[in-house]
Structure 1
Amino acid sequence: MLKKLKIAVLLLLVAFQYVQAQKSKRLNADWEFVKQDLGGIWEAVRPVGKGNPEELPFWQKASLPHCFNAVDAVDPDVHYYQGAGWYRTNLDIENPYANGRTLLHFEGAGQKTQVYIHTTKVAEHVGGYDEWTADITDAVAAFKKSPLFKTQFKGKVPVIIRCDNSRDLEMMPSSLSDFNVYGGIYRYLNLVYNPQLAIDKVFAHATVDAKGAQGNVTVKARFLNQDGLKDANVKISLVDPSGKIVFNTNKNITSFSGDELLAETNLKSPKLWSIETPQQYEVKISVTANGQTYLTTQKIGFRHFEFVKKGPFTLNGKRVLLRGTHRHEDHAGVAAAMTEEMMITEMKMMKEMGVNFIRLGHYQQSRIILDLCDSLGILVWEEIPWCRGGLGGAVYQAQGKRMLTNMIEQHYNHPSIIIWGLGNENDWPGDFSEFDKEKIRTYMKELNDLSHKLDASRSTAIRRCDFCRDIVDVYSPSIWAGWYRGNYTEYKDVSKGEFDKSERFLHVEWGGDSHARRHSENPDNALAKIKVGVGADERAGDASLYGGGARVSKDGDWSESYMANLIDWHLKEQETMPWLTGTAYWPFKDFSTPIRPENPVPYVNQKGVVERDFTKKESFYIFQSYWTDKPMAHIYGHSWPVRWGAEGEEKMVKVYSNCDEAELFVNGKSFGMKKRNSQDFPAAGLRWLVPMQKGTYEIKVVAKIGKVTVTDEITQEYQSEKWGKPAKLVLQKISEADGVATVEVKAYDANNVLCLDAANEVKFNLIGDGELIKNQGTSTAASKVQLYNGRAVISLKTNSQKNVVSVSANGLSTEFLTIEK
């Protein structure tokens, strides 16, 4: 109940802060959609109560936000759709302001968008991640004068929107990117009523010295004044985090061109925004002109940050180790069309894991996310989608500058943002016949200068383009120790070498893939094949599962067990690197990608610490054990039902905890108390060797910090029989509730011994009136998936009917299971 209340409060806070105008409504319901192009706009027109007699019956009901790659992005049998999609609805539009303006405010739609009122095109936009508005005032007024308005459309206004994510080399981002270039109205769309005079953007700039003694606020605004009004009254209040008004001003203005300075004030010892206490002030603005009033509220925060030259990162005068991760706008079943509730859940999970920094990759993201970072105390690197492919021509370069301008101007007020990212992997050619480093450097300098012109208070950064490292304020090289190159034990030395080459160093993107629910008794075996001392950077072809030199990404087992060791090593090393500004693990959540069809879950980048549906992997708790203060303890192996080895062999049981000490109990017997030491790898010394025989093991840990005690428990089987190669598949139902049945397939050898290292790719199918829950991009909701320790599960909606589930694998007989109604 308390958790639901907290989420509801966050929703209200985000919704309140988000209000930009006097009247605004989200247009979520009553849409229709078609996933193809049309012959012309007339085909999309839909009178109320009847269809166009020439219309094909292919429109389907939809609600916004909506992504037309919600399912096909991870369908193993197709390449995701890239083309046009159309949306339509009929709206009641009645602006309450005399001579006011009516807008459609897009929070983001991909990738090219056209807006029509009836058959009149009123706006178009290129760029899938910008906020932008379409002024539909005149077109609505014209349509209301048409006889169609009252006869065929019964007083409603037809709104039709075409989105297009077709491949286009002269558009950012490149389709070579390791993420889907989605299509659709995948962020919220708002109907906005403005008075005659309104504010387009507010630039509320808060600064404070490193000691927190003196703060300053300037408030500028850019107005919407289509009718050329000559004067207005402006009232501005500054409200501190406790609700106290600390500044008021009331003035008349007669100039509305450019960005007008509305107010400036100083504050002694302002309450600071920090990671622990993200206190925010409110700037409340009232603009009255011609008898109409426009209201808006913006939140700001006072904080002082610095990337110290050849040193660490400081916030409000104190060193802070940036403990970061990354976010893609992507989720099971909806792709980019994440709801506000989903976003809140995701960001709260990051905070729960101990994150204090996030890089938004590789494009500007929803204002909702930034509002959450502001309120949760998470610092932000936000970037434009100049990602891979090289450098295009004039149209391409203009889009990059336009998106950088939009990102900075639209997100200027957020105290969480400390870095504007200018690009990612811009040393990665492929889209153009020419790859000219000097031209890339020239363009990078132009972006860097533009960023500093628009916002001199924040740093600029790029990742992985060594020949541009000297241009930006902060540079992140490519370091994938233990995954794409080298051994994870080389991480500190490689990082120090890169630090020494940079004026200001920050390491974003590290980690590796793990197939959720796959575990290993010998996870580091692949390291014996790996060359050390050759660097740890990612190079051409490293993401491939074939060819090239030995590397864990190709030759490893992709187990959660290996990734646990890699992450554990990195985190314990980061505690002993006093010069380190910080790092960001890549990424927080698994996400879909068009360039990885042969991964264990096809078309999914599986480097996340949670799955695409928020299911936590074991690594989530390793981060918690290093990064959080709330007492926790987690026994490794909650998703590892069967371990294996010889009779009496000692097996390591690892516990990840931030407590001072922990005691392990196995089948009720104590195996002793251990003290936590972060430098005692693995598991910070909280590990026990337990001799195991065939049978069932109840494992419990009791951990203590001060007077607080926390516990965790798991049950595992131990298998001592050896097995040969898989000879058959066995399919059975393991649960059913609320009309959803879950089935599990297991691989056995010729002697009916479970093959616990089997990683065969299996494919599920269904015959009947039910529906497989598939194409979610997770290890338990994919029709094609690699086994994890000789098993895999999938669920189906039975629809109260008889269904037959099948599972097949190359070289093995197909198995069938009947699910009775």
Structure 2
Amino acid sequence: MLLWLGLVLSISTAFGQQRTRLNDDWEFVRQDLGGVWEAVRPVVAGNPESVPLWQKVTLPHCFNARDAVDPDVNYYQGPGWYRTQLTVQNPYANGRTLLHFEGAGQKTEVYIYTTKVGSHVGGYDEWTMDITQAVADFQKTEAYKTQFKGKIPLSIRSDNSRDLEMIPSDLSDFNVYGGIYRYLNLVYVPALSLERIAAKAEVDKAGKQGQLTIKATFFNPNQLAKAEINVRILDPKGKQVERYQAGVAVKAGEQELHAFRVKKPQLWSPDKPNLYTVQVTVKAGSDAYVQTEKVGFRHIEFVEKGPFMLNGKRLLLRGTHRHEDHAGVAAAMTEPMIRQEMRMMKEMGVNFIRLGHYQQSRIVLQLCDSLGITVWEEIPWCRGGLGGEVYQSQAKRMLTNMIEQHYNHPAVIIWGLGNENDWPGDFPEFDKEKIRTFMKELNALSHQLDASRYTAIRRCDFCKDIPDVYSPSIWAGWYRGIYTEYKEVTEKEFQGVKRFLHVEWGGDSHAGRHSENPDNALAKISRGQGADERSGDASLFGGSARVSKDGDWSESYLCNLVDWHLKEQETMPWLSGTAYWPFKDFSTPVRPDNPIPYMNQKGVIERDFTKKEAYYVFQSYWTTTPMAHIYGHSWPVRWGEAGEQKMVKVYSNCEQAELFVNGRSYGVKKRNSQDFPAAGLRWLVTFDNSRENTIKVVARQGKTVVQDEIQQRYQTDKWGKPAKLILEKTAEQNGLATVQVKLLDAHGVQCLDAVNWVSFSLSGDGQLLDDLGTSSGSRKVQVYNGRAVIRVKTNGGKSVVGVQSEGMATALLPL
């Protein structure tokens, strides 16, 4: 029987050995079973010919780790099974044994031996399963003593099958992944513990007076009547500043433990993310349970028809977005991966993030707290319309869980109610009034659960009056319009709502593709047509002229687009903030024709953390630690006429910079953010076509000096139509070979503007490192400037790499 705790049982790091991540010793099969008996039968029956065949895996694990970006198949949506054997040794008399899921997609069933303990629907919220009774029952069986030799068989069925009565919609621009793709924990708690601590930290706008109200919900299956509680408050340096101790009557539901007055609290902000510690000890009999939470004191305000205020001062929200997705693992990102990603955001200058489009890992929220990144977190009501009672119940349940599970995080400033809810398709009926009614219900529920934070939605104009904050669709220079219209369009949208915040802007770029004339496509675009994304705009075929279809998808163009947006945002004092979409390239089932199939390529880093050039544009505007970056680190060959002057751009936050080409100084430039492009740090230079050109910048900020250097060839030879593929090994280290294909014309000249598709293959002992969703980790990919790269794990043997492209002879390379 499932004991549903309503919320996740909040579990702190204070438990030590009472909380264990179940990462190892798992087996997995990506298909359904005839029943749970098939998962345990091999042990009980001792049958070596048992089918199906299981593979060994570790958790977190996503069963779409590679097929999400396989260019030749639809990604798998269906059931998968996991199994392991647990050693259960609960140290508490009358204690409870729990499984704490940090997230599993999308429907999950849990079995102890052949007993179904319970189930959960929803791929992104946390949940807890009490397996105490099921374990005790199995321990009485003969199978426990003989076949399983004191171990507890645990089987879990995970299912991401398509289901119109579930959120998110399969029309969404991201994969609805399957698997136990966040951490799973085995937890022991005493007979009396806590389900949840709600710690409400409040401070006045002046920051002089704080109040910290501690409420708790007890987990009390044995119906104990009394307990001793001890509440300690520690300041950011770990010094105890408040304490409360008392006996309490244990009641059902949430009850207040104590309210503390905190004078002149150390405030939380992106620059100084000060965190207080709340430690609650619950003692009943000889057993004690300890839980800790981090909280922060900050005052937030979205000014009506104005900016965002933090602690009484304007803070321009400089944001981005995050999908839970990574090369080679899909949704199953480990804690070190998550930490690296969030630190890269902070190092880019981010102080705000929208977590799209679902509740994300507790690790993400903890890092936002400690790094100082404000958060908009939302439920996965995304596209498709509005389903029935089951659908709506899931949305309300997930909103409740998200708010209650992440309530204590000071980083959270907005609860998101939905995304692109004006997008029909999942149901025959698309009724705007019914969508409005349901949006009002979600808005009221959010305020009921948490009156201290704002609500928001993005892109549903017929609901824009319902939430506290609204973000329209503005894609100037990509899906509609040109990027120089950005400020004008944004001001118009700002006037139409009470509180405005612009999330989602930017454009796609194929990593490694660069252009000498990136803005050429803008000449085809009609001005004054708005900048909103409309039906069909994401398609690469048909419809009106737009950069998303008619542009070159170069990093060069994206840098110009980003550069213009950031310079304009500095001149908009009424602007609360923006969030670039997204930080990292991610997989999506609705974009099979993109240069990397099934990838949304709008990130400023690739799916494997490789930085694109646009990363440094953001850094040059948003950071203060001196930096300088010459555009073109992944651009080995430029082209043009002999003696022609070419622009070299440097992105830097320093006061001034001097450029050198082949040892010759081209002078010192001073930075001016309003001098587009590159804030005035651009030079016209003449390259030597007979040698590698060495380009160096020396930038100064006060007494601090930073430098950057790249090398580029300059090609003056003209080329015709691609006619030949040349395959070569460019590097090999530690058993990893890098292979590059070049496209040449009939005269052997590299075609530097070629965008042909190429397909890599491998025969032999090695392994092609493909299905990673990166420009150098895809076996089918569009070339970038007449070349493409793939890597091969040689395995110490012999292999032959092949590459094909329509209209040209296949090239082969023995390794």
| Structure 1 length-normalised TM | 0.97
Q: Who is 1:453 aligned against?
A: 448
The one of 779, 787, 791 equivalent to 1:791 is 787
Secondary structure at 2:420's aligned position in 1?
strand
2:758 and 2:782 in contact (8 A); partners too: yes
Is 2:319 aligned against 1:324? Answer: yes
Is 2:679 aligned against 1:684? Answer: yes
1:79 deviation in Å? 0.6
Is 2:651 aligned against 1:656? Answer: yes
1:268 deviation in Å? 1.1
2:620 and 2:627 in contact (8 A); partners too: yes
Mapping for residues 297-336 of structure 1, pairs under 5 Å: 297-336=292-331
Q: How many Å separate the matches in 2 of 1:740 and 1:296?
A: 46
Q: How many Å separate the matches in 1 of 2:530 and 2:13?
A: 46
Mapping for residues 598-747 of structure 1, pairs under 5 Å: 598-695=593-690, 696-747=692-743
- Name the stretch that deviates more: 527-536 or 252-261: 252-261
Q: Who is 1:525 aligned against?
A: 520
Q: How many Å separate the matches in 2 of 1:556 and 1:655?
A: 23
Structure 1 residues 187-224: Cα deviation after superposition (integer angstroms, max 9, x where no partner): 00000001000100110000001100110010001111
Is 2:389 aligned against 1:432? Answer: no
Is 2:166 aligned against 1:171? Answer: yes
What letter matches 1:677 in structure 2?
Answer: N
Q: Who is 1:750 aligned against?
A: 746
Q: How many Å separate the matches in 2 of 1:779 and 1:579?
A: 39
1:234 deviation in Å? 0.4
Query: Cα 1:309–1:51, aligned 2, differ >3 Å: closer, same or farther?
Result: farther
Query: Cα 1:19–1:391, aligned 2, differ >3 Å: closer, same or farther?
Result: farther
Secondary structure at 1:396's aligned position in 2?
helix
Secondary structure at 1:45's aligned position in 2?
helix
Q: Who is 2:191 aligned against?
A: 196
Q: How many Å separate the matches in 2 of 1:222 and 1:112?
A: 26
Q: Who is 2:762 aligned against?
A: 766
Q: How many Å separate the matches in 1 of 2:390 and 2:464?
A: 25
1:46 and 1:158 in contact (8 A); partners too: no
Mapping for residues 485-504 of structure 1, pairs under 5 Å: 485-504=480-499
1:649 and 1:693 in contact (8 A); partners too: no
Structure 1 residues 88-137: Cα deviation after superposition (integer angstroms, max 9, x where no partner): 00110111111111110000000000000000000100000010011100
The one of 70, 73, 77 equivalent to 2:68 is 73
The one of 83, 105, 109 equivalent to 2:78 is 83
Q: Who is 2:29 aligned against?
A: 34
The one of 405, 408, 430 equivalent to 1:410 is 405
Q: Who is 1:366 aligned against?
A: 361
- Size of the aligned set, in residue pairs, is 805
Query: Cα 1:17–1:289, aligned 2, differ >3 Å: closer, same or farther?
Result: closer
Secondary structure at 1:518's aligned position in 2?
coil
Query: Cα 1:22–1:413, aligned 2, differ >3 Å: closer, same or farther?
Result: farther
1:265 deviation in Å? 1.1
Q: How many Å separate the matches in 1 of 2:684 and 2:46?
A: 71
1:29 and 1:62 in contact (8 A); partners too: yes
2:798 and 2:814 in contact (8 A); partners too: yes
1:353 deviation in Å? 0.3
Q: How many Å separate the matches in 2 of 1:502 and 1:55?
A: 63
1:363 and 1:382 in contact (8 A); partners too: yes
Q: How many Å separate the matches in 1 of 2:322 and 2:382?
A: 15
2:29 and 2:52 in contact (8 A); partners too: no
1:22 and 1:194 in contact (8 A); partners too: no
1:245 deviation in Å? 1.1
Secondary structure at 2:797's aligned position in 1?
coil
What letter matches 1:224 in structure 2?
Answer: F
Mapping for residues 39-50 of structure 1, pairs under 5 Å: 39-45=34-40
Q: Who is 1:9 aligned against?
A: none
Mapping for residues 10-409 of structure 1, pairs under 5 Å: 18-19=13-14, 23-45=18-40, 51-53=46-48, 55-409=50-404
1:255 deviation in Å? 3.0
Q: Who is 2:814 aligned against?
A: 818
CA RMSD of aligned residues (A): 1.2
1:267 deviation in Å? 1.1
The one of 522, 537, 541 equivalent to 1:542 is 537
1:691 deviation in Å? 2.0
Structure 1 residues 326-347: Cα deviation after superposition (integer angstroms, max 9, x where no partner): 0000000000000000000000
Secondary structure at 2:604's aligned position in 1?
coil
Secondary structure at 1:505's aligned position in 2?
coil
- Name the stretch that deviates more: 235-244 or 635-644: 235-244
Q: How many Å separate the matches in 2 of 1:505 and 1:17?
A: 37
Q: Who is 1:7 aligned against?
A: none
Query: Cα 1:755–1:346, aligned 2, differ >3 Å: closer, same or farther?
Result: same
Q: How many Å separate the matches in 2 of 1:108 and 1:271?
A: 33
Q: How many Å separate the matches in 1 of 2:808 and 2:392?
A: 53
Q: How many Å separate the matches in 2 of 1:260 and 1:54?
A: 56
Q: How many Å separate the matches in 1 of 2:41 and 2:272?
A: 52
1:362 deviation in Å? 0.2
1:17 and 1:299 in contact (8 A); partners too: no
Give the percent of matched residue pairs that are identical in Structure 1 and Structure 2. 70
1:516 deviation in Å? 0.1
What letter matches 2:366 in structure 1?
Answer: D
2:422 and 2:459 in contact (8 A); partners too: yes
Q: How many Å separate the matches in 2 of 1:483 and 1:511?
A: 7
1:592 and 1:604 in contact (8 A); partners too: yes
Q: Who is 1:805 aligned against?
A: 801
The one of 391, 402, 414 equivalent to 1:419 is 414
1:44 and 1:160 in contact (8 A); partners too: yes
Secondary structure at 1:389's aligned position in 2?
coil
1:204 and 1:220 in contact (8 A); partners too: yes
Query: Cα 1:470–1:727, aligned 2, differ >3 Å: closer, same or farther?
Result: same
1:693 deviation in Å? 3.9
Q: How many Å separate the matches in 2 of 1:611 and 1:19?
A: 36
Q: How many Å separate the matches in 1 of 2:12 and 2:582?
A: 28
1:802 and 1:818 in contact (8 A); partners too: yes
Q: How many Å separate the matches in 1 of 2:428 and 2:327?
A: 36
Query: Cα 1:395–1:267, aligned 2, differ >3 Å: closer, same or farther?
Result: same
What letter matches 2:345 in structure 1?
Answer: M
Q: How many Å separate the matches in 1 of 2:76 and 2:237?
A: 50
Structure 1 residues 169-201: Cα deviation after superposition (integer angstroms, max 9, x where no partner): 000000000000000000000000010001001
What letter matches 2:590 in structure 1?
Answer: I
Structure 1 residues 682-709: Cα deviation after superposition (integer angstroms, max 9, x where no partner): 0000000012342321000000010100
What letter matches 1:313 in structure 2?
Answer: F
1:47 and 1:153 in contact (8 A); partners too: no
1:54 deviation in Å? 5.8
Q: How many Å separate the matches in 1 of 2:746 and 2:486?
A: 44
Secondary structure at 2:591's aligned position in 1?
coil
Q: How many Å separate the matches in 2 of 1:16 and 1:801?
A: 48
Give unpaired runs (5+ residues) of structure 2. 1-9
Q: How many Å separate the matches in 1 of 2:95 and 2:378?
A: 35
Structure 1 residues 49-96: Cα deviation after superposition (integer angstroms, max 9, x where no partner): 985456215100010000000000000011100000000001101111
What letter matches 2:705 in structure 1?
Answer: T
Q: How many Å separate the matches in 1 of 2:543 and 2:302?
A: 38
Give unpaired runs (5+ residues) of structure 1. 1-14
1:71 and 1:334 in contact (8 A); partners too: yes
The one of 771, 774, 789 equivalent to 1:778 is 774
Q: Who is 1:6 aligned against?
A: none
2:655 and 2:671 in contact (8 A); partners too: yes
